Amino acid sequence: MPGNITYTFRHVLVSDAVYGTMLKQERSTLHLFVAQAIEHLYSDRIDGYVEILANHYLRSPQLDRALHYMILAGQRAANNYANEQARQHFVTALGLLSKVVYQPSQAFEIHHGLGDVLMLVGEYQASRTHYKSAMEAIEVEDSDVYINELSDLDRKMGITFERQGDFDKA
């Protein structure tokens, strides 16, 4: 924090012990400060820091920022085929949805991303469930804006049926 004494710990156990003695409010404020500093210092290459930002904002009072970065972290992990990591980020983001002001576009991004990851790992039924939830999220929005997304989700649901050998539903 600005104007405060800075400590450096050589051993992680000492660092953990000091962190554990801090009040929850202090830790929360510290995480917020770190997240904002990262955003400011690395604004030109923020993509490389989305996971770190998501985790700091998750421990801060600004859960809306945590959700934003958690979705980006999930998408980034999915693009790198880090499926388990992407899944964890999207599941965390899903849990945050109920703690912030609901935005259908965020629900769509989470369910769509989670559906894609689950399809890649062969969890086809769960994938379809999330694709349906993604469809429901954007049906409350202007459907004309999301017409391409809806058709893409239909296509992906067909792929899941095909991969299970259910060609009638594909």
pTM of the predicted structure, to 2 decimals: 0.84
Top CATH class of 102-170 equals mainly alpha
pLDDT in tens, the chain (170 residues): 455 666 565 666 655 555 666 567 888 898 899 999 999 999 999 999 999 999 999 999 999 999 999 999 999 999 999 999 999 999 999 999 999 999 999 999 999 999 999 999 999 999 999 999 999 998 877 667 788 899 999 999 999 999 998 878 87
**Domain locations in the chain?**
7-82, 102-170
**Ordered DSSP codes for 114-162:** HHHHHHHTT-HHHHHHHHHHHHHHHHTS-TTTTHHHHHHHHHHHHHHHH
Three-class secondary structure of residue 47 per DSSP: helix
